[in-house]
Chains A and B, each alone.
Chain A
Amino acid sequence: MWTSDLTMMMLEGIRDTLLMTLLSTLFGYVLGLPLGIALTVTDQTGIKPNGVVYKVLDVIVNIARSIPFLILLILVMPLTKAIVGKTTGSAATIVPLTLAAAPFIGRMIESSLKEVDHGVIEAAQSMGAGTFTIIWKVLLVEARTSILVGVTIAIGTILGYSAMAGVVGGGGLGDIAMRYGYYRYETLIMIVSVVLLVLLVQVFQTLGMRLAVKIDRRKR
């Protein structure tokens, strides 16, 4: 039957999942944001076109995105061990999660920034704005709604990946669902953990979209 120990475990699961998801998203953006900016700026139609740089980044991103997450999880174990000191638990999962998220985030940033009207960029150039100013004060500002929608999508996706990491002892709700629900046939625990995961995704999705609409000045 349901015990207070189980409630404790679930609460810890939620905490671990949130921690993994949010930190991985954060680190994912630390890597993915510059990547996306570089992809936008160096593209043929960008403000500093550079065919070689664009192609190299493009290929790296495509390769990284095509590796299945479970394989990546195992592939980067040596790196995880070097950074975190172990390969299981929620802290260790942050490393592969970040690496899986970064190229995907880079692509989303690229697509958001490319939505910015070229005319506005041209106007900034005509005022004497340099590349850095245009990135910082035009691209990122004008694309902020789209970027925030991207963050919402990224959190949802990373949360799903974090649950997958439960297969190799990754920690969090996914881990609980695997260990109790799948291996020990404790269906109730599995259902509860899955429902909690669904709820978390819902909460992030709703909050993210609301905020995105709120900061958008294009509509009255």
Chain B
Amino acid sequence: MAGMIEVHNLCKTFVTSEANVEALHDISLSIQAGDIYGIIGMSGAGKSTLVRCLNFLERPTSGTVEIEGSDLSTLTEAQLREKRREIAMIFQHFNLLMQKNVIDNICFPLVIGGMKKKDARERAAELLEIVGMTEKAKAYPSQLSGGQKQRVAIARALAANPKILLCDEATSALDPRTTQSILQLLKEINRQYGITIVIITHEMSVVREICSHVAIIGEGHLVEQGRVFDIFSHPKTAEAKELILKGSGTERRTLEGHQKELMKGKCCIRIVFSVNSSFEPVIANMVLKFGQPINILKADTKNVEGIARGEMILSLPDDRDMQEDMKAYLTERGLAVEEVNGYVDE
């Protein structure tokens, strides 16, 4: 089935006077209608360039981008502008018009689309209701908090009834609580209006929280993609493992602290519990069976695709054979098991 967004072999090279910088290399993605699709990577990985290729704010050097079957590179300038009305975008720094009040900001895409001012204002009032900002209609952006500005930006993005919403680090400038409320709002919009959402972020917690699918970008390459749960429990590549372990601020602090010391030279594994495995006391049973103590370095529950998942990092005994047996034991019981030494020690 052809997706809402189909990217084939996309490359983007920036030509500067000193050198050619290859920002994206041979990226292919398929994003289905109604998905919340995360694109995650470290800063400088090329994800912002990638999202700008999806609405042709950046033209790919080669490769194609198809939105609902129409290849953006074949469109004329006017057709492209028309198409962009279906592909809304929100930004890290909100990018509201500072000299216009909230309601006029939301009217902006409607007015430039040729709607009458009066009708636009009616529609804008509806949108303010959706994002819960009705009482701020006459305020100017400088009078709003970051979260409020992003709500206005979301309302503005939804004004022209887009099919796709691109979010470029939309929560990166916000505190954790505001991030939560914005993510909930995006989720609700996805559910209620069936808008396909593409989320660019460097925070694994954002992807875990609301995305159904994820693509991991590292140094311009697509390193891994799939369902969020699959990647969260079975990350295959070093980039994926690193992002999952160092995903959020709290995790980073924990791992960079004394636990990292504890992990040095030890065989450590990360296990992820699925729903069924939570009923059995797996770790306790394993300790009893092998008669060896296990050091639990970290235990946490995380919201993945809206379901709470248990996550633990264990330090295993030094005996090689026993390590293998224990891993097999855990895998048999339906747990996802990953070795974590290599990239934590770096």
Contact = CB atoms under 8 A, between A and B. Distances in A.
A117 interface: yes
A68 interface: no
20 contacts: A117-B98, A119-B95, A120-B95, A120-B97, A120-B98, A123-B91, A123-B96, A127-B108, A127-B112, A127-B160, A128-B109, A128-B112, A129-B112, A130-B77, A130-B81, A141-B97, A141-B100, A215-B99, A217-B99, A219-B142
A217 B138 CA distance: 12
A218 B142 contact: yes
Interface in B79-111: 81-85, 87-89, 91, 93, 95-101, 108-109, 111
Top 8 A-B pairs ranked by shortest CB distance?
A: A123-B95, A128-B84, A119-B95, A126-B89, A128-B81, A127-B109, A217-B140, A128-B85
A145 to B, nearest CB: 8
Nearest to A121: B95
Contact of A119 (B83, B91, B142, B166): B91
B110 to A, nearest CB: 9
**Chain A: number of interface residues, binned into ranges:** 20 to 34
Interface of A: 117, 119-120, 122-130, 133, 137-138, 141-142, 144-145, 215-220
Interface in B52-93: 55, 57, 77-78, 81-85, 87-89, 91, 93
Contacts of A117: 93, 95, 98
Contacts of A142: 97-99
A interface secondary structure, majority: helix
Contacts of A126: 55, 57, 84, 87-89, 166
A144 to B, nearest CB: 6
A138 B97 CA distance: 8
Contacts of A215: 99
Nearest to A141: B99
